[in-house]
Amino acid sequence: MSDEAVENSEETNGAPDSEESADEVAEAVKTPPGEDLKEVVESAFPGAVLEQSAYEDDEDEATFVLDVDSIVAVSTHLRDHGDSLFKLLTDLTAAHYPEAENPLEVLYHLYSFEHNRRLRLKVRIKEGQSMPTVSGVWSSADWMEREVYDLFGIEFEDHPDLRRILLPDNWGSHPMRKDYPLEGRGERIYTKPKRKEIGD
Amino acid sequence: MVGVANVSRIDQQSTLHGTEELVINMGPQHPSTHGVLRVILKLDGETVNDLDCDIGYLHRGTEKIGENINYTMFIPYTDRLDYIAAPSNNLAWVTAVEKFFDWEIPMRAQYIRSMVGELSRIASHLLWLATHALDIGAMTVFLWCFREREMVLDLFETAFGGRLTVNAFRLGGLHEDVPEKFLQLTQEFVDIFPSRVDDYETLLTNNRIWLQRTRDVGIISAEDAMDLGLTGPIIRGSGVKWDLRRAKPYAAYPYLDFVVPIGENGDIYDRYLVRIEELRQSTYIIQQCLEQLPGGPASCKTPRTIKPPEGEIYHSIENPKGEFGFYIVSDGTTTPYRVRIRPPSFINLGGLKKLCVGQLVADVVAIIGSIDIVLGECDR
């Protein structure tokens, strides 16, 4: 009887409460990656971060999905704010998801020298929709946006010099899209000129 | 700069002689453009007013190919990006894919990866020094550097069979353990190489012509270098102490000791000094790898088909040219959904205009050499 009473008292008094508090502590410690950076963004632009994710809770894979209209302002803020200082635009690229509602995704990989960390920004846009340029925020975006325009056909508004960079100027299509064939000549169909026969 | 008082005289001259901007074409077959780079220069006298780079002659759609073959098959394609330092590219790809998994890569493999990575850095910097010096007019350096580069390529041949495109690493480690002879020859190379670096320095470091051609030419400040996205020896030459081997360590670099050299002025001479010191540091790293090299297997057990879970990762390493990274999107199948190569040469070349405008036309050759581009990776 006494044993049961002890067990009961343990259950009712100490154990469950402490378990709960332990859980709370664990939750408080384990914030999702990039939570502090989200606060940096949200302090100036409430509601700008539409989605937040990270591959396997890796701090370097922190990813924010942003809206098209807020990308330039948020980039400038992240570059200049003391808690982020993302002075290096490591990479700017795109990805094509033909089945998605917004099929084109523009990706910005940022790096901060002071805090030694990375951040990925994403903007999802519709087919034919144009993007604002970030070449005013980081000059390195100039060539990378030209490449995205060249290979994906995404146009960047107010870009200083939006021309094709890798392919010839008259190529006509954008090979990194998923609907572009891997093999064969694609739309570059070369028709053999017909031989002139005698009597033609 | 032209003073106010001179303006009317210059106007008069221009009407008399009809002076105008001269547009000249440099490349794509020009030997000093280090591959098929075409630069269109707009000159006022001998001063560069504006320039435009025409690239893409070597575009092979490597990213597109990567999205249609499996993870192991893509390793040889990475050789063909920065073909001057092929094992470095292999290392970037395998470490990027391994980020998807929680495999324990054996320490022996990690040390050999670091060692071969540093050998490829030496091979790349030697080719840079040889051609850069040849562009500026020093012929002997070219011959001496190629003598040692040949030794490094022989080492690659001993270990992996290939000399230029070696396909050195596999997912999970190495294909096979390196032969004992490779370690012996590497030790011989490490013993001989520091004195050879001293030899190059006797030819160049205090050479008056070299100093005149490189000092205070092509200056870039640290702020501008960050803004332009420049990485590798260029940003270190501008005084930013940043090396991915230290900042985001990979392979065996957490256990290795080395110094990250930096410059002060950010001119061509500082970039030269940084790369020369990197040659010495790389030798020191290889020496440590040889001393600490643990035994054991050269590869961990990996599944027959590599199928990463769904997700996206970005991983980059310190290539001889700068930050070389891969952004991979996996959809859970055996082929990646999206492969993006973060090319250091492409992005560093984007800074050429900022470096060259206002300089003399003869310095353009020196500046292109100091950026150290390789067009295979620039055009992909």
Mean pLDDT of the A142-168 span: 89
Of B64, B337, B347, the CB nearest to A140: B347
- Distance, in Å, from the CA atom of A123 to the CA atom of A164, rounded to the nearest integer, reads 22
What is residue A142's three-state secondary structure? helix
- Distance, in Å, from the CA atom of A185 to the CA atom of B356, rounded to the nearest integer, reads 39
Contact B313 A61 (CB under 8 A): yes
* B158 found inside a domain: yes
The kind and range of the H/E element at A136 are: none
Task: State chain A's mean pLDDT as an integer.
Answer: 78
Q: Please classify residue B202 by burial: count the beta carbons closer than 10 Å to its beta carbon, then call 0-12 exposed, 13-18 middle and 19+ buried.
A: exposed
pLDDT of residue A6: 45
CA angle at A8 for the pair A4 and A12, rounded to the nearest 5°:
175
Q: Shortest Cα distance from B33 to chain A (angstroms)?
A: 17
Q: Name the DSSP class of B265.
A: S
Residue type, B174: L
Residue B89 in contact with residue B82, Cβ under 8 Å?
yes
Q: Which residues of B touch A60 (CB under 8 A)?
A: 248, 314
pLDDT at B61 over 90: no
* B43 found inside a domain: no
Q: Please classify residue B185 by burial: count the beta carbons closer than 10 Å to its beta carbon, then call 0-12 exposed, 13-18 middle and 19+ buried.
A: middle
Contact A166 B64 (CB under 8 A): no
* B6 found inside a domain: no
Residue B121 in contact with residue B278, Cβ under 8 Å?
yes
Mean pLDDT of the B99-107 span: 89
A81 touches chain B (CB under 8 A): no
Give, rounded to a whole angstrom, the gap between the first and last alpha carbons of chain A: 115
- What are the strands, taking DSSP E only, across chain A? 51-53, 63-66, 88-96, 104-112, 117-125, 131-132, 156-157
Peptide bond into B320 cis (omega under 30): no
Mean pLDDT of the B100-106 span: 88
Residue B195, domain CATH: 1.10.645.10
* B349 found inside a domain: yes
Given pLDDT bands bounded at 50, 70 and 90, which one contains residue B15? low
Listed range (A38-42, B77-81, B187-191, B245-249) with the worst mean pLDDT: A38-42
Mean pLDDT of the B23-45 span: 80
Q: How much of chain B, in percent, has pLDDT values that exceed 70? A: 94
Other residues' Cβ atoms within 10 Å of the Cβ of residue A56? 12
The secondary structure of A52-85 as a DSSP string is EE-GGG-GGG-EEEE-GGGHHHHHHHHHHSTTT-
Of A90, A166, A168, the CB nearest to B342: A90
pLDDT at A109 over 90: yes
Other residues' Cβ atoms within 10 Å of the Cβ of residue A194? 7
pLDDT of residue B92: 93
Q: How much of chain B, in percent, has pLDDT values that exceed 90? A: 42
pLDDT of residue A15: 43
pLDDT of residue B95: 92
Backbone CA torsion sign across A79, A85, A87, A89: negative
Nearest CA in chain A to B101: A56
Task: State chain B's mean pLDDT as an integer.
Answer: 88
Given pLDDT bands bounded at 50, 70 and 90, which one contains residue A58? confident
- Distance, in Å, from the CA atom of A144 to the CA atom of A154, rounded to the nearest integer, reads 12
pLDDT of residue A2: 46
pLDDT at A10 over 60: no
Beta bridge pairs of residue B328: B313, B339
Contact B226 A113 (CB under 8 A): yes
pLDDT of residue B89: 92
- State chain B's maximal CA–CA distance in angstroms: 80
Cite the DSSP H helix spans in B293-360. Answer: 344-349, 352-356
Q: How many CA atoms lie within 13 A of B214 on its CB side?
A: 26
Contact B240 A95 (CB under 8 A): no
Q: Shortest Cα distance from A191 to chain B (angstroms)?
A: 23
Q: How far is residue B22 from each of residues A15, A178, B25, B51, B354, measured CA to CA in Å?
A: 85, 43, 10, 11, 19
What domains can you pick out in chain A, each with its CATH number?
33-132 (3.30.460.80)
pLDDT at B3 over 60: no
pLDDT of residue A197: 57
pLDDT at B6 over 60: no
pLDDT of residue B121: 93
Mean pLDDT of the B224-252 span: 90
Q: How much of chain A, in percent, has pLDDT values that exceed 70? A: 76
- Distance, in Å, from the CA atom of B97 to the CA atom of B66, rounded to the nearest integer, reads 13
pLDDT of residue A14: 41
Residue A49 in contact with residue A66, Cβ under 8 Å?
yes
* B128 found inside a domain: yes
Q: What is the pLDDT of residues B320-372, one digit of tens each?
A: 999 999 999 998 888 899 999 999 999 999 889 889 888 888 888 889 889 88
Q: Which two tokens stand for residue B293?
A: 């090299």
Beta bridge pairs of residue B268: none
Contact A109 B342 (CB under 8 A): yes
> Cα B244 to chain center, whole Å?
13
Q: For chain B, what is the domain count?
A: 1
Give residues with Cβ within 8 angstroms of A138, minimum separation 6.
Answer: A75, A79, A88, A89, B227, B229
Mean pLDDT of the B153-160 span: 91
The kind and range of the H/E element at B327 are: strand B322-330
Contact B56 A107 (CB under 8 A): no
Task: Identify the residue among A58, A143, A146 best suited for mutation to test binding to B, counting B beta carbons within 10 A and taking the highest.
Answer: A143
What is residue B77's three-state secondary structure? helix
Other residues' Cβ atoms within 10 Å of the Cβ of residue A125? 17
* B344 found inside a domain: yes
pLDDT at A195 over 80: no
pLDDT at B13 over 80: no
A56 touches chain B (CB under 8 A): yes
Beta bridge pairs of residue A117: A112
- Distance, in Å, from the CA atom of B190 to the CA atom of B206, rounded to the nearest integer, reads 25
Q: Which residues of A touch B240 (CB under 8 A)?
A: 113
pLDDT of residue A161: 87
* B23 found inside a domain: no
Range of the domain at B253: 59-379
Give, rounded to a whole angstrom, the gap between the first and last alpha carbons of chain B: 41
- Distance, in Å, from the CA atom of A102 to the CA atom of A125, rounded to the nearest integer, reads 5
Given pLDDT bands bounded at 50, 70 and 90, which one contains residue A9? very low
pLDDT of residue A42: 81
Other residues' Cβ atoms within 10 Å of the Cβ of residue B3? 6
pTM, rounded to two decimals: 0.84
Nearest CA in chain A to B331: A97
- Distance, in Å, from the CA atom of B368 to the CA atom of B366, rounded to the nearest integer, reads 6
* B33 found inside a domain: no
> Cα B70 to chain center, whole Å?
26
